[in-house]
Structure 1
Amino acid sequence: MSFLRILHAEWTKLRTVRGWVIGLLAAALVIIALGLTPSRAGSCGQHGPGSECTTLHGPEGQEVTDSATYVHRTLTGDGSITVRLAGLTGQLPTFDGAQTREGLAPWAKAGLMVRDGTRAGAAYAAVMLTGEHGVRMQYNYVHDTGGPAGAKVEAQPVWLRLTRTGDTVKAEQSADGATWAEVGTARLPGLPATVTAGMFATSPQYSELVNESVVLSGVSGGPSTATGAFERPATIGAWSAEWESDAAAVEPESAEQPKGGGTTARAEGPRTGFQQTADGWLVTGSGDVGPAVSGASGGGVTISQTLVGTFLGLMVVVVVGAMFAAAEYRRGLIRTTLAAVPRRGRVLAAKALVLGGVTFVLGLAAAAVVVTFGQDVLRDNGVYVKPATTLTELRVAAGTALLLAGCGALAAGLGVLLRRGVTAVAAAIVVVVLPYLLSVTVLPLRASAWVLSVTPAAAFSLQQSEPQYDQVDNIYSPADGYFPLSAWGGLAVLAVWVAVVLVGAGYVQRRRDA
């Protein structure tokens, strides 16, 4: 018998059992139903002119946050600015009733910045000393490069330099002001002839996990500040005469203070601003200049969260998959099947392909409906949905289908391996469903990351729609839609599990009597 005829026979078995068909359709429908149901209320208002939530986007289209104390002058044409950063200090929130304590957030920043004007979200390039990550170059919010010397806070002071040549900005650092090392180079397309450049300081929200179980405990946090002690900058090129900033002056020591001008300085929260000293400037800032991520810089719902029904649909799929494969053994029909097809491995392969194929089609259709229309439903109910590229939407929809198909094939292999439907269903739930459930609820973050790296549930990473940024302190937990493996890494783990189970089932099937 040809393999196509075997596939047709297995398809006939699947579609003629009403319960299995209803179960697979129900799995798809529950994904759609939960994805199109406005389960949360928002504050953005209904669709209409001016009613949607406003968000800040950087020059490359990503959501960003742009909050710092920035003391600057204008530069026309090419030029450079060099400064000695004598020290970086800061204040952290406390969780024992006191307001603040001495300390630096790991990604507290103070340094030099060149940017396309002072509007929020403008293109920029910066070189900075950070709280725990040495000297860095960052540009256009999402790009981060570490300095060669890895200067840390204890290595203060440090000299920093930015050189603008056309639309290219080069960042350098020095330990003595004489010998310089390149930190990185950024190209900012469309950078105008006249830009702003100067000193800045900022420090992101600081959070501490009460314990490592996100659900059973919680996160305590608050704003932090960073203060950079800058000596007087040295400049080369056509610079304006006066320093400018929108930040409030703090106890000025001389009459020569920056005049008003547009910046991205915070107006509320911790006390921030600048102070001119005999040697230079003290610049204190709070906030961040970087990408905005879930849990760190604002709320909103991702397209991954619209697919919340995937978990319930997956439970149905593994039950149907295990029963589909084990039913023939319970009823003794496997003898007839193997008599018609003596090559038993082909039967197993056909079962896995039929179930996986049907599940993939239904899962893809359900995910496509949710990704396409679920966002509109949420927005119509005042919920802000974080934007995603078309490629990301396609990957999430196809990834959801691959997740369901792979787990369905895995369950079918367990059904052949264990022969008993109840036992196979229990095994499939323990192997596939339980790891994900525990990881998003009670497991500590490290244990959760390990579980989601070695079990079939790793394939849930296919649904991650927001990137993780090393330069943003955030609790990247599975409950918030972040996974320890990449999308394709998670798929590879699931593929290995499917291959191992199917090979094991094929071996046992050949060795045992029907």
Structure 2
Amino acid sequence: MSTPQPPMPQAAPEWQAASGPSYAGPAYTSPIPVVRTHLGHAVASEWTKIRSVRSTMWTLGVFVLLVVGIGLLAGALVANDPGEGGIGDENPLSLGFFGLLLGSMCVITLGVLTTASEYGTGMIRTTMTACPTRGRVLAAKSLVFFAVAFVVTLLSTALVALAQMGMLEGVREPTGEEWLKGTVGVSLYIALLGLLSLVIGSIVRHSAGAITIMIAAVLAPLVIAMFMFSQSLEDLREALFEYSIPNQLSVFYSTSLTESGPSGWDPLWIMLGVTAAAFAGAYALLEKRDV
């Protein structure tokens, strides 16, 4: 019995054996334009995020309510009782300090949520996929938040200052520098404080933890200094008072809580240096750690 032979290989069809593309027409061009991405695209994306979430409206709404409401209330109280509650020769704009100090907590909260909330929800993975350049993402978040915080604070403080000057009678007119520091200067400081919170949120990656750290940074120095009764700790106690955030904030209204320490525009440069150092650390960690 003969053994069956395997089938002989056959030559491939001519259309399959031909080398190169079988389509000889013009090259295909996609109708979708290819655009080289840049920082502007990341800024537009972050602007869409910050204006579309409810936390922005709530925190900024409470901030305006505190700054304007407490500022007008303080002005009304002084106007109705000019004898004992008068401000004398002090800067009339200093009455806006109390509302701004409380309102700063809202800016701190919003700054932390701008970054840390994305880590909590996992949205940061989508953000980094859409924009793999991590430093660009952090820069875009910082620019958008700083602009929003500065504009809202400037409008609120300017409104309070104008309203208080209209309510108070017999007080001296603030100088040009006092107007500048009490509106633009203090708004820059609050915006930088919020930006520092944003950076801390990027470092910690936990909303509650970052907010706790920032509130402690605002309140802890004053609280700790109040319980330093030892004479050997007098220098440390004075330093905590002088460089605490509430005291630095009061310098913009020429009502420093201490006789020495920062003056003029010093608090703004201090906050700028601290924020820049924290930003550099956050950038280094963002490039090194996993999302």
TM-score by length of 1: 0.44
Shift of the alpha carbon at 1:18? Answer: 1.2
Alignment of 1:315 with 2:102, yes or no, is no
Other structure's SS at 1:307 match: helix
Rate the CA distance shift 1:366–1:449 in 2: closer, same or farther, 3 A: farther
CA change 1:487–1:300 in 2 (3 A) is closer
Whether 2:257 is the aligned partner of 1:477: answer yes
Q: Give the 3 Å change call, closer, same or farther, for CA 310–4 of structure 1 in structure 2.
A: same
CA apart distance, 1:329 = 0.4
Q: Which runs of 5+ in 2 are unaligned?
A: 1-36
Amino acid at match of 1:354: V
Q: RMSD over aligned Cα, in angstroms?
A: 2.8
Give me the whole-angstrom Cα distance separating, in 2, the residues matched to 1:454 and 1:9. Answer: 37
1:322–1:443 Cα change, 3 Å: farther
CA distance in 2, matches of 1:334, 1:305: 41
Aligned to 1:17: 53
User: Conserved in 2, the CA contact under 8 Å of 1:326 and 1:415?
Assistant: yes
Q: Counting helix residues as a fraction of each chain, which structure ranks higher?
A: 2
Aligned residues between the structures: 247
Matched ranges for 1:381-392 at <5 A: 385-392=171-178
Partner amino acid, structure 2, of 1:11: W
Write out per-residue CA displacement over residues 291-310 of structure 1, whole angstroms, 9 at most, x where no aligned residue: xxx8xxx6766422333201
Cα separation, partners in 2 of 1:438 and 1:304, compared to 1, 3 Å: farther
Q: Which runs of 5+ in 1 are unaligned?
A: 45-52, 54-293, 467-475
Whether 1:353 aligns to 2:139 is no
Cα separation, 1, equivalents of 2:67 and 2:228: 25
Aligned counterparts of 2:99 and 2:227: Cα–Cα separation in 1: 20
**Structure 1 residues 405 and 460: alpha-carbon distance in aligned structure 2, compared to 1, 3 A threshold:** same
> Structure 1 residue 42 and structure 2 residue 81: aligned?
yes
SS of the residue corresponding to residue 513 of structure 1 reads coil
Question: Matched residues in 2 for 1:397 and 1:438: separation?
Answer: 30
Alignment match, 1:416: 202
CA distance 1:457–1:9, change in 2 (3 Å): farther
Residues of 2 paired with 1:502 and 1:358: CA distance? 18
What amino acid sits opposite 2:62 in the alignment?
A
Deviation, 1:22, is: 2.1
Q: Which of 445, 465, 476 is 2:254 aligned to?
A: 465
SS of residue matched to 1:487: coil
Superposition deviation, residue 8 in structure 1: 1.2
Task: Tell me which amino acid in the other structure corresponds to 2:249.
Answer: F
Secondary structure of the equivalent of 2:98? coil
1 CA distance for matches of 2:171 and 2:221? 28
Residue 12 (structure 2) aligns with: none
Q: Counterpart amino acid of 1:373?
A: A
Q: Does 2:209 correspond to 1:432?
A: no
Work out the CA distance in 2 between the residues paired with 1:13 and 1:436.
36
Pairwise CA distance, 1:19: 2.0
Q: What's the CA shift for 1:412?
A: 0.3
Higher strand share: 1
- Give the direction of change, closer, same or farther, for the CA distance of 1:366–1:446 in structure 2 (3 Å limit): farther
1:45-64 matched pairs, under 5 angstroms: none
2:263 corresponds to which letter in structure 1? S
Is the contact made by 2:150 and 2:188 (CA closer than 8 Å) also made in structure 1? yes
Query: What is the CA–CA distance in structure 1 between the aligned matches of 2:77 and 2:221, rounded to whole Å?
Result: 25
User: 2:250·2:257 contact (CA, 8 Å) conserved in 1?
Assistant: no
Counterpart Cα distance in 1 of 2:222 and 2:94: 15
Mark the CA change 1:8 to 1:449 in structure 2 (over 3 Å): closer, same or farther: farther
Paired AA for residue 394 in structure 1: L
Contact 1:323-1:421 at 8 Å conserved across structures: yes
Classify the secondary structure of the residue corresponding to 1:337.
helix
Question: Which residue is 1:195 aligned to?
Answer: none
How far apart are 1:372 and its partner, in Å? 1.5
Change (3 A) 1:331 1:456: same
User: Match of 1:388, SS?
Assistant: coil
* Amino acid across the alignment from 1:414: I
The counterpart of 1:328, out of the listed 114, 118, 136, is: 118
1:340 aligned partner, one-letter code: A
Matches of 2:63 and 2:223 in 1, distance apart?
17
- Residue 278 of structure 2: which of 501, 505, 514 is its match? 501
Matched, 1:343 2:133: yes
Equivalent residues in 2 for 1:10-409 (5 A)? Answer: 10-37=46-73, 38-40=76-78, 41-43=80-82, 302-379=92-169, 385-409=171-195
TM-score by length of 2: 0.75
Deviation string for 1:457-477 (max 9, x for gaps)? 5641552336xxxxxxxxx63
Residue aligned with 1:477, SS: coil
1:416 and 1:325 map into 2 onto residues whose CA distance is: 6
The separation in 1 between residues aligned to 2:64 and 2:220, in whole angstroms, is: 20
Write the letter of the residue equivalent to 1:42: D
Q: Which amino acid aligns with 2:45?
A: A
- CA distance, structure 1, for counterparts of residue 222 and residue 154 of structure 2: 21
**Aligned partner of residue 308 in structure 1, secondary structure:** helix
8 Å contact from structure 2 (residues 43, 141) kept in 1 = yes
Indicate how the Cα distance of structure 1 residues 458 and 11 shifts in structure 2: closer, same or farther if over 3 A, else same.
farther
Could you say if the C-alpha distance between residues 385 and 483 of structure 1 is closer, same or farther in structure 2, counting changes exceeding 3 Å? farther
